[in-house]
Amino acid sequence: MARAVAATPAPVVVQPESVRRRPSLQLRAYPQLVIGSAVLMILLLGAGLGPLLVPYGPTDTDFSAALRGPSWAHVLGTDQLGRDSLSRALAGARLSMLVAAGAVVLGLAGGVPLGMISAMRRGWLSDLIMRVMDGILAFPGLILAMAIAFVLGPSVVTVIVALAVVRLPSVARVIRAQASGLGQSDYIESARSVGASPTRIAVVHVLPNVSSTILVLASLGAGAAIFTEASLSFLGAGVPPPTATWGGMLHDAYPYLEKNPWQTFVPGVCIFLAVLACNFIGDGLRDFLDPKERTRRRG
């Protein structure tokens, strides 16, 4: 009688963690982060390689070629002074990125410590900090930035300081809310019970846990800074001419809107893409750094 042979199950091959969770596969679940990073990288490359890509300087004038449309000589046309629009757009990108980076760094350098102090040091100091932040928030951001720019005088440093002051209250309030919530955690209470100082708790235990929020605030703040800087330049309160700025290009093109609408299209699209990329990165980072959201998307 033939002996029955039990079927041997096929061996289960367990892939290593690095293969199952490749970073490229994870990023595919966050298209906003990928698209925003790609657009911002293109703008940064264009800003950095601008002098090598365009044979004209941003302030070179040619009155014989004024208000021309796109051509082989001038890919994106010229303005009322015959200046190359592509060259000025790339120079404006360098300035916008510089202003956005400076405003974000300065705003975070002031807002994060103020928010942490207000959360960890309850009492009159916390109330004073929050009342000052509320006072700044009482003014519309653009009006406050214009006032600071007019008082200090138009320059790149002035614009950075004005945008940082406008951004300061929102950063401080968000960090304070995050740090206050973490302050009730068990591990914070344990640190207090063993005699850890508020400064050590804030730096060692709280700050690393709000780092993801800081990254999101930085990306969203960069988009707001680019838009506000363009608004200030359009209104004549930003970086003075002949420095090329996207807002300044819109200001120069406005009187010729009916005769040469293409002149407004170039800086408008640049502002739109830069702000959209920063907002996409901020939304993507918020989802990517949220453990609950990552678990939901993997499932």
What are the residue boundaries of the structural domains of the chain, listed by start? 31-50+77-298
pLDDT tens, N- to C-terminus, the chain (299 residues): 444 444 444 444 444 444 445 555 566 778 899 999 999 999 999 999 888 888 888 989 888 888 888 888 889 989 989 999 999 999 999 999 999 999 999 999 999 999 999 988 878 888 999 999 999 999 999 999 999 998 988 889 999 999 999 999 999 999 999 988 887 777 888 888 888 887 888 888 888 889 999 999 999 999 999 999 999 999 988 898 889 999 999 999 999 888 888 889 999 999 999 999 999 999 999 888 877 666 666 65
Check residue 133 and give its pLDDT: 94
Q: What's residue 22's pLDDT? A: 54
Per-position b or e across 46-73, b if 16+ CB within 10 A of its CB: bbeebeeebebebeebeeebebbeeeee
The closest alpha carbon to 145, from 111, 99, 176, belongs to: 99
Token pair listed for 161: 């300081």
Q: Would you state the pLDDT for residue 183?
A: 74
Q: Return the pLDDT at 299.
A: 58
Q: How far apart are CA 266 and CA 285, in angstroms?
A: 29
For residue 251 the two structure tokens come to 């200001």
Q: At the topology level of CATH, where does 31-50+77-298 sit?
A: MetI-like fold (1.10.3720)
